[in-house]
Structure 1
Amino acid sequence: MTEAAPTLYLLCGKIAAGKSTLARRLGSAPACLLISEDAWLSELYPGEIQSLADYARCAERLRAAMGDHVQALLRAGLSVVLDFPANTVAARQWMRGIFEGAGADHELHVLDVPDAVCKTRLHQRNLTGAPVFAPDEADYDRIAGFFVPPAPEEGFNLVVHSGA
């Protein structure tokens, strides 16, 4: 029996599409570690993320710190679920650098969920007080404007999850 190669699992989908829920499921596999952007941001920057600009600044700092660490985990033989949004070409290029630098496999999970479903989930999530930053519907629309689905020429191993 051969061991599976370490894999970097990536997630692409709009806010409240279900990325973190899928990440937890993927991260429950043996020899797999879940790294959640939200969890790290809430610990490193408690109370500091009040706007989209705050999120962008803090998330960029976190990405800068995490790249080499995730590569080291992959090189050590662990698979990693990177629960950071792979929603732009630039974000996906950063993630590509991680798995290519580690010589690891990858899967880019794309959650194709209608905006109406995402907005309903977002509203429900904000009521729980759980998110690091609780975007409203206007924030959702602004952030969704930056969303770029992966194109075939980007060359990712896609796993598409359609529907609600």
Structure 2
Amino acid sequence: MKKLIAGIALFGTFAVASAQTITFDRTTFDYGTIKPSSDGTRYFTVTNTGDKPLVLSNVKASCGCTTPEFSTDPIMPGKSAKIKVGYNTAINGGFNKMIEVFSNDPANSRSVIYIKGTVDANAPEPKPLTPEEQKKAAKDQKAAEKAAKKAAKVAAKK
């Protein structure tokens, strides 16, 4: 009897370990303080750190002022996709919005990500990035992508 229970537990461990797994580059995107009618589009990166295709079945915003866009194409193991989130920046004041992400990840079939910030007419003008800042931003983006790929490889080995 003990062997049977141990065998079932071991099989369950392998079943969970060999599945699609959703991972986000961040779970909250802070817009900071922005001017009314400024660009309200931001992107979340979704990575499949499992070993089976990950499919996003639905992405729902908590209100009509937030509009998510996503692809239902499978995200292969170790690969990433973007969720585009738009916020209506014509609405003045603070905001903290929830976006639900539904997928075929058996452990996290419903994940939650957030956007937050403040729309204020007195917000400072966004300053353009210097060439050095642009290079640093590109380098940081590459480092984040490399870290996500490494995490996917580590998760695939487990």
- Greater share of strand: 2
TM-score (norm 2): 0.26
TM-score by length of 1: 0.25
